[in-house]
Amino acid sequence: MLETDGLLKEFGGLVATDDVDLSVESGERVSIIGPNGAGKSTLINLITRRLDPTDGDIRFKGESIVGLKPHQVVQRGVSKSFQTASIFPDLTVRENAEIAALAAEHGEFGLNFLTHRNDLSSVRELAEETLADVGLLDRADTEAVDLPYGDKRRLEIGIALAAEPDLLLMDEPTAGMSPEETQSTVDLIERVKAERGLTFVLVEHDMEIVFSISDRIVVLNRGRVIAEGTPDEIRGNPDVQEAYLGGVEL
């Protein structure tokens, strides 16, 4: 489904991702871990086309997406759960989900949906379904600004899901959440994974979550992939323990 080939990103003299070959099969759940500054967010932002690679290629379903704009990548089927930035605070939860569903069909902020009025009922339905999935249906008419933090983060995941992605990218979706909010987000990811058979790439610092939710784990350090494997393989990998955890037992 996704393949990066020699992906290099430099910021001035700093190499943020260094020759990264990442491949994700359809239906696979891949987590990316690594210390702060390892290049995890850069890698995600390259895939969503928020950043241009310095070198290398990114293929989605066999076709290069390096020349595409971010909204074109969404239309191909790649969504990212953006941190809060994707929420329109003054709109209701429902309106936020509907806009996301519309944008995926008709382009980012494209107003050409006015010529596709027949599609609006399907957009409404999809938004409703998505809000049910993320457990926000009972708050559908609340203004997004009034949601508690954990619900806002779940709405972001909902906004990403409303685009009906084939591949969902999440960058630390539980950052800043309370233990209860974290648990309900993990439950949500598990449920969506079971119900929608979603392929995802997750960046997450909580190892308990990573080990329980992933089919495969990719370890980045200083921009390079230093290990990859199943949770069991990664748990026992001495290089990972050394580089990433300073020798702490996993």
Using CB under 6 A, list all residues that contact ligand ADP.
11, 14, 16, 34, 36-42
Q: Residue 41 interacts with Mg ion (CB under 5 A)?
A: yes
CB 139 within 8 A of CB 92: no
Nearest CA to 202 among 114, 93, 105, 80? 80
Q: Which does 173 bind (CB under 5 to 8 A by kind): ligand ADP, Mg ion, none?
A: none
Which H or E run includes 201?
strand 199-203
Q: What is the DSSP string of 142-176?
A: SBGGGS-HHHHHHHHHHHHHHT--SEEEEESTTTT
Q: Residue 183 interacts with Mg ion (CB under 5 A)?
A: no
Q: Give CA–CA dist 138/159, Å, rounded.
A: 16
The nearer residue to ligand ADP, 17 or 237, going by C-beta atoms, is 17
- Minimum gap (Å) between residue 203 Cβ and ligand ADP: 7
- Minimum gap (Å) between residue 169 Cβ and ligand ADP: 12
Per DSSP, the chain holds a count of helices (H) and strands (E) of: 9, 11
Q: Which stretch binds Mg ion (CB under 5 A): 32-40, 77-85, 121-129, 190-198?
A: 32-40
- Minimum gap (Å) between residue 168 Cβ and ligand ADP: 18
The nearer residue to ligand ADP, 16 or 243, going by C-beta atoms, is 16
The nearer residue to ligand ADP, 39 or 158, going by C-beta atoms, is 39
**What are the Cα distances from residue 69, in Å, to 72, 75, 150, 217?**
5, 10, 30, 28
Query: One-letter amino acid identity for 26?
Result: S
- Minimum gap (Å) between residue 222 Cβ and ligand ADP: 9
The nearer residue to ligand ADP, 17 or 130, going by C-beta atoms, is 17
Q: Which tokens belong to 138?
A: 């009972």
The nearer residue to ligand ADP, 14 or 245, going by C-beta atoms, is 14
Binding site for Mg ion (CB under 5 A): 40-41
